[in-house]
Each structure stands twice: as structure tokens, then as C-alpha cells.
Amino acid sequence: MGEFEPNIVAFVCKWCTYTAADLAGTSRIQYPPNVKIIRLMCSGSVDPIFVVKALSQGADGVLIGGCHPGDCHYVSGNYKARRRILILKTILQNVGFEADRVWIRWISASEGKYFATVITEMVEQLKKMGPSPLKTAWDI
Ligand code: FES
């Protein structure tokens, strides 16, 4: 059996983080292929249920990516996302789940290299943490 390869689901805003991922690709910046990107209009569109559903259906980690504070194209979507994800992480922690599996990062359209760095760091951390306990609990 090979080394554990974590599955990451990334919910990203189309204006910043998705464009950064695209820039990483067009700039040929290498990053691990462990991430499946889901493009949304804004990080404020990320319902915490999306995160829970991803974790319950096989993701080892979830990334929420959006525009930097003050740069959201819908004014305050990223602030709302930050609050919601903080609350979700608190709830997850209180039920015994490792909240460090859920990351929120602000990555602008010009930060392709930073996008690659975040994915690389997340993969490294998840490899240390091992498979999500939800996976083994439900035998996914
Ligand atoms: Fe990017 Fe709102 S438009 S976080």
C-alpha cells in the first residue's frame, strides 16, 4: 500500500482564488494534484453544509478561498465566510473532529504561487494527520 494521499475539496471564489489557481496553472507552478476545485461566485456563497457534506463524503480536508479582506466583489462576502467558518470549526472541534482539516485563506488573483504554497502546505499537514476519521467511521 502506498503513502496516504489526502483528498482536498476547495471552494473558491471565481474573482480571486480561482483565478490564482488558474494563474498557477498557466505559469506552470507545480502543486500537488490532491485538490478538487469548486468555483463559486464568492467565498460568502460557501454554506457550512457544503463543508460538512464534503467531509462526510470522502474529503480529508476542505479549503475555502476568497478575496483578501476589503477586496470582496460583493463587499462583505468574505467577512461573512470568515465568521461562518469560524463557527463551523468551533462546532466541529466540540464534537471531537479535527477542525484543522478546514482552512480558510485569502488568495488574490495575482497570487498563483501563494495558491500553490497553500495547497502544498495543506497536503503536508493532512498527510501528518492521516485520513479523515469520518472516512473510516463510515467506511468510505
Ligand atoms: Fe471573492 Fe467575495 S468575491 S470573496
What is the per-residue pLDDT across 89-117, written as a single tens digit (0 to 9) for each? 999 999 999 999 999 999 999 999 999 99
pTM of the model: 0.94
Which domains does the chain possess? Answer: 8-129 (3.40.50.960)
**Does residue 44 have its Cβ closer than 6 Å to ligand 1?**
yes
Report how far residue 71's alpha carbon sits from residue 108's, in angstroms, rounded to the nearest whole number. Answer: 9
SS (H, E, C) 16-46: CHHHHHHHHHHCCCCCCCCEEEEEECCHHHC
How remote is the CA of residue 16 from the centroid of ligand 1, in Å? 7
What are 126's three cell numbers?
493532512
Instruction: Give the position of cell 471531537.
Output: 96
What are 75's three cell numbers?
463587499
Q: Which of these, 72, 86, 16, lies nearest to 44 by C-alpha position?
A: 72
Indicate the burial class of 106 (C-beta count within 10 angstroms; 0-12, 13-18, 19 or more).
buried
Integer angstrom CA distances of residue 8 from 58, 73, 77, 125 = 9, 25, 22, 12
**Does residue 62 have its Cβ closer than 6 Å to ligand 1?**
no
pLDDT at 140: 56
Strands 102-106 and 35-40: unpaired
Which atom of ligand 1 is least distant from the CA of 14?
1
How remote is the CA of residue 60 from the centroid of ligand 1, in Å? 24
Decide which of 136 and 46 is more confident.
46
Q: How much is the average pLDDT of 74-86?
A: 97
Query: In this predicted model, what pLDDT tens digit does every residue of 19-64 receive, in sequence order?
Result: 999 999 999 999 999 999 999 999 999 999 999 999 999 999 999 9
Residue 1: pLDDT band with limits 50, 70, 90: low
